[in-house]
Amino acid sequence: MSKILFVMTGVDYWTLADGTKHPTGFWAEEAVAPYETFKAAGHEIVVATPGGVVPTVDKGSLAPEVNGGQEGADKIANTLASITELQHPITLEDVNLDDYAAVFYPGGHGPMEDLAVDPASGQILIDTLASGKPLAVVCHAPAALLAATTEDGSNAFAGYKVAAFTNAEETQAGFADKAKWLLETRLVEAGVEVRAGEPWAPNVVVDRNLVTGQNPSSSAPLAVEVLSKLA
């Protein structure tokens, strides 16, 4: 049984362009679906956050309307409550990449606040990319790639093809005109090649050992792709 590292946001807010703090955290489905897939395959999960703080779930991600109804919402909330690993995270600085077979970043707007500018997370990304181990990042979590800057100032993921939450989806979600910056735009500016699919439809892009997903519905197929790389 090997370990898979979940690198997760440590904040419960996202600062908007007008300075207000929008309540957020990680998106439930993006943690739960891969967790269930990885655990079912016999893998152990370790959670790491900035400062080792217990990650906060975005309350919006527990709503019936984003979980196919009340039954789906209840199921994801119950599963989330059973994930004891979330209550015992390690700090990013304590991560030893040698201990893990793969690294996974779930999204939510939280990573745009902290992981996008976190040098420890950036180094984990750079090291995982160089190691050849599967590195999986979904939805808003590709914001963390922005912190993966090399010594010459370039981005370690420049030239890589990725899926990430698109400007079109951010517009439809109602945040594009409120955000300080848009994820797809920033990634392109960093030299990353964003492969946008249809809004809200599953879209997983694989480039070398990097596996990325566009949105919450991409998290389950992304996890399956990671398992295929570990087989």
Encode pLDDT of 42-100 as tens digits: 999 999 999 999 999 999 999 999 999 999 999 999 999 999 999 999 999 999 999 99
Give me the residues paired with residue 45 across strands. Answer: 4
> Across all residues in the chain, what is the average pLDDT?
98
If pLDDT is split at 50, 70 and 90, which confidence band does 1 have?
confident
Q: What is the pLDDT of residue 160?
A: 98
Count of positions (residues) in the chain? 231
Q: What is the pLDDT of residue 67?
A: 97
Q: Which residue has the tokens 């370690």?
A: 156
Give me the residues paired with residue 47 across strands. Answer: 6
Share of the chain above pLDDT 70, in %: 100
Q: What is the pLDDT of residue 183?
A: 98
Q: What is the pLDDT of residue 226?
A: 98
Q: What is the pLDDT of residue 7?
A: 99
Give the integer Cα–Cα distance in Å for 8 and 30.
11
